[in-house]
Structure 1
Amino acid sequence: MTHTIYIDGEAGTTGLEIRERLEARTDLQLMLLGDRRRDVEARREALNSADAVILCLPDDAAKEAVSMIENDKVRVIDASTAYRVDPNWVYGFAEMDAGQREAIASSTRVSNPGCYPTGFIALMRPLVAAGIVPADHPVTVNAVSGYSGGGKQMIAEFEAAKESEGAASTAFRGYGLSLKHKHVPEMTKHTGLQQPVLFSPAVGNYRQGMLVEVPLHLVSLSQGASVESIHAALAAAYEGQRFVEVVDLAASEAMTGIEPEALNGTNTVRLHVFGDRNGGQVRLVAMLDNLGKGASGAAVQNLNIMLGLDEATGLR
């Protein structure tokens, strides 16, 4: 059986990456509007006739597209932030919870996670669930992404600077200085934390790949929390998962550095626990491709699950 797929917003960064992952597949047929993609009626027809729709649009445009869908059999994956904390939509992080994959499979409305939240939730949710990190604990997350995470405008800025005679305008840029980043609600809700996380995002002068880091003081956690118990909770949470790796403690301890681009082109998120037992400190680090498991790869994984296919089809 061939499933028809419509990507609304296929010309954007995420849309192009999704299309690249899908167009070579023989089990799917992409509905491409070409020059008619700005034609409202052509879009409406595609939105209602496809087996599955993937929205790669700004929040308001995504909401508008959803309002145009009258066919209740159409399965929708939204890559914007519009529905990530909406109780009527299933959060599309299959590995997040024991029942999440089944919830995605049975839903017609799935919100694709953000890239930073994917790394943060992967690290923090199992620790809150295990009681190691108290739900009311004030949590800080520091993260850096390649400039592709900023969309076409940021990509153009960095790449134009690289092509000029001088160096790029910046090597590293912190942002989200208002402390009201749009990812904070989903990062807080889907970890089970009771107060908003303190999120410090940054962009580096490279195209894609990211590191998401959570620093913790063991003394501020539940009694008995240790480097080993934190690692064990993560390892147990993701045992048998194909796209979430928990690196062995010894392997992490042998590392002297960590690069954000190591998983580019994959749908994997890799989790590290770095600890100073004598100092009572831990650094939790998630590595992923912000355009892979952090966006397009996750959308394809969710699509496969929703269509009843092997969830790894078309992914690596």
Structure 2
Amino acid sequence: MSYGSALGSTPISSAQDLVADARSLSALKAGADKATPDTIRETAKQFESLFMRELLKSMREATMKSGMLDNAGSDLGTDLFDQQMSVSMSGQPGGLSDLIAQQLSRQMGVEMPGSTVGMANSSSLQPVKAPDTLTPKSSVGKLTASDMALTPVAPKKAPTSTQADFVSKHTDAANKIEKATGIPASFMLGQAGHETGWGKHQIKNKDGSNSFNLFGIKAGSSWTGKVAEITTTEYVNGVAQKKVAKFRAYDSFEDSFKDYARLISDSPRYAKARQQTQSVTAFATGLQKAGYATDPEYAAKLSRAINTTLHLRRAQVQA
């Protein structure tokens, strides 16, 4: 049973049908427009089951093995047992799946009758809020299915108010483009933040006006729109050099998101990266290998920016 069918027109027959399979998350997004209260609850159980399985896996890895009876067969048996345990432990009233179902229902506009969240015991179930310095607007908390599917790496440094402001400002546009293209909103927000120094170093036109180019996309010979010409840093054989380059200019930030999504989706150059949106590191590495930027450390830097964005968006989940 896949996540996609969990949100489709036919509800899952029982909790035992749940499958903790991260590869099915893309099908979940594809069937999101068919969501009903029952299918949302079952989908939430699958998310919780996947989380519990990873938790059990981490516990197993932290336990020292004797080595006497360990072999490929015993490892397979343990994995199957853990998968079954994760299914059995998921979907309990008042548990994590209730919170996930609540969030999914808000994002999909589906009313959830009889939800345990919000009852007398709801004080222990309220979403975690970020510190006041990191909550400039409630839009930071507008999570998408992609956000729910990804497990971010905790940033080494706490996100700044500048980063929170940037993510909040562009969340609505990013969510809109994800809905149209499937490219995770947090991936786009993180890359836009990295390319612009979280909004502090945006590309300007000659007259000083904003080019609205959030992704550092250059204006090649095929580009027929407006152009902003600036001095930028390029890496040639690993050595940083200053060069004057032409960049695309747009009429709005949303146009920038649209053009970026079109580039990533339509260009054969980025086909492999486009297929790796289930992993922050794989996506960032795919972009670097495809030549999105000349910086040899681009993948590592982009991964950190995306993980910071995921952290921010999860920290401010509001009703």
Larger relative CO (CA 8 A, sep 6+): 1 or 2?
1
Give the TM-score normalised by structure 2: 0.32
Structure 1 or 2: more strand by fraction: 1
Structure whose alpha-carbon radius of gyration is higher:
2
Structure 1 or 2: more helix by fraction: 2
Give the TM-score normalised by structure 1: 0.32
